[in-house]
Amino acid sequence: MVDALKTVEIDLPNDAPKSSRRFGLIVIGDEILSGKRQDKHMSKLIELLNERGLSLSWVRYLPDEPDQITACLKESFASGDVVFSTGGIGATPDDHTRQCAALALGTKTQLHPSAQELIAGRIQSMAEGDPIKADLSTPENQHRFKMGEFPIGSEIIPNPYNQIPGFRIKEHHFVPGFPVMAAPMMAWCLDHFYKDLFHQENWAEQSFIVPKGIESALTPLMERIEESFPGVKVFSLPSVGDPAKEGVFAERHIELGIKGNANLLESAWLALRTGTESLGYEIHDLKPQ
């Protein structure tokens, strides 16, 4: 029986730089949901995307549960989104992603010739001249080749860390759960397959601090700004303050700002500042990062 409580899904607001494609992330592993390990994939993918003028639209966390993985992949394959999936592509009993991807696509897995060659090379290099360890016919080494069994029609994703590849199929990119491997593999996929989407918009963001700001008082202003300046998004990030910090950050405050195409922001920025001051609030500008 599937335990739905083990699935954690986070939908991120899709209000960062717009491209013609949405990017999503699936993080698979019981160790993430149990708290034994902290997810580092989401922050890294956001960084990689932002460097290229792109953004992350959604992320989902799943356990090592085949039914849930398959159901999630069926949905994401049908979405048309560009998706990165981390974890579950090894050859241990709790690694189900390769088989679930095939099942979600209505196909089977088979040993990819290039993956077979790369895994064989890895086995030989790790054997360090020991003929027994280098024997590809041993049960141990034959089992290692399972890491190269991908859904039929897959392409490999090179792994610069240990040469054991990931795979991609239908705009989905499957990489290991180890961040040291996953990060360069995700970067490689972006640079090789989605370069035409890089920096399509001149995206910018500006904000200031409103000490002791009250969101309910500022909301009508925010709504007027968005109505008056189509394409501009207004955001509000309230904080109860941190006594360990200095100045306005030590007490309750709101970070109020706008984001969108840089060509549209100047007038909206002036209107936001003027409107905030007209409500009787002070404005504290943030230092450039």
Q: What CATH number is associated with residue 78?
A: 3.40.980.10
Closest CA to 164 of 117, 223, 210, 119: 119
Q: Which residue, 205, 207, 216, is CA-closest to 279? A: 216
Same domain, 141 and 245: no
Check residues 124 and 203 and name the one with the higher pLDDT.
124
**Is the pLDDT score of 44 beyond 90?**
yes
High-pLDDT (> 90) share of the chain, %: 79
Shared domain for 183 and 232, answered yes or no, is no
Low-confidence winner among 27-36, 83-92, 122-131, 217-226 (lowest mean pLDDT): 122-131
Q: Let me know whether 168 and 259 are in one domain.
A: no
For residue 221 the two structure tokens come to 């202003």
The last residue of a domain, from among 176, 197, 218: 197
Does 155 share its domain with 238?
Answer: no
Query: Is 179 found in the same domain as 103?
Result: yes
For the chain, give the mean pLDDT. Answer: 91
Separation of alpha carbons 185 and 190, rounded Å = 9
Q: Is the pLDDT of residue 201 over 90?
A: no
What's CA 32's distance to the chain center, in Å? 15
> CA quadruple 39, 31, 60, 234: dihedral positive or negative?
negative
Distance between CA atoms of residues 41 and 212, nearest Å? 35
52/174 same-domain check: yes
Q: What whole-number distance in Å separates Cα of residue 222 and Cα of residue 225? A: 5
Q: Is the pLDDT of residue 3 over 80?
A: no
pLDDT in tens, 52-76: 989 999 999 999 999 999 999 999 9
- Whether residues 23 and 144 share a domain: the answer is yes
- Is the Cβ–Cβ distance between 265 and 225 less than 8 Å? no
d(CA 146, CA 116): 9
pLDDT of residue 17: 46
End-to-end CA distance of the chain: 50
Confidence of residue 1 (pLDDT cuts 50, 70, 90): very low
Q: Are the C-beta atoms of residues 87 and 27 closer than 8 Å to each other?
A: yes
Q: Are residues 151 and 228 in the same domain?
A: no
| Last residue of one domain, picked from the residues 181, 197, 213 | 197
Q: What is the predicted pLDDT for the residue at 289?
A: 54
| Same domain? 138 vs 274 | no
As a whole number, mean pLDDT of residues 101-121 equals: 97
Q: What is the CATH number of the domain that holds 223?
A: 3.30.70.2520
Residue 20 has pLDDT above 90, yes or no: no
pLDDT band (50, 70, 90) for residue 8: low
Structure-derived torsion over alpha carbons of residues 93, 97, 99, 103, reported in degrees to the nearest 10: 140
Q: What average pLDDT does range 140-157 have in this prediction?
A: 96
**Domain total in the chain:** 2
User: What pLDDT score does 18 carry?
Assistant: 45
Question: Is there a contact between 265 and 232 (Cβ–Cβ < 8 Å)?
Answer: yes
pLDDT band with cut points at 50, 70 and 90 for residue 246: confident
The more confidently predicted of residues 118 and 12 is: 118
Q: Which of 197, 220, 253 delimits the end of a domain?
A: 197
For residue 255 the two structure tokens come to 């970070």
Cβ neighbours of residue 192 under 8 Å, at least 6 residues apart? none
For the chain, percent of residues with pLDDT exceeding 70: 92
Please tell me whether residues 171 and 220 are part of one structural domain.
Answer: no
Q: Are residues 153 and 210 in the same domain?
A: no
For the ranges 14-23, 82-91, 124-133, 170-179, the lowest mean pLDDT is seen at 14-23
Phi, psi of 253 (to 5 degrees): -160, 170
* pLDDT of residue 226 exceeding 60: yes
45 and 76 in a single domain? The answer is: yes
Domain containing 209 equals 203-285
User: Residue type at 85?
Assistant: S
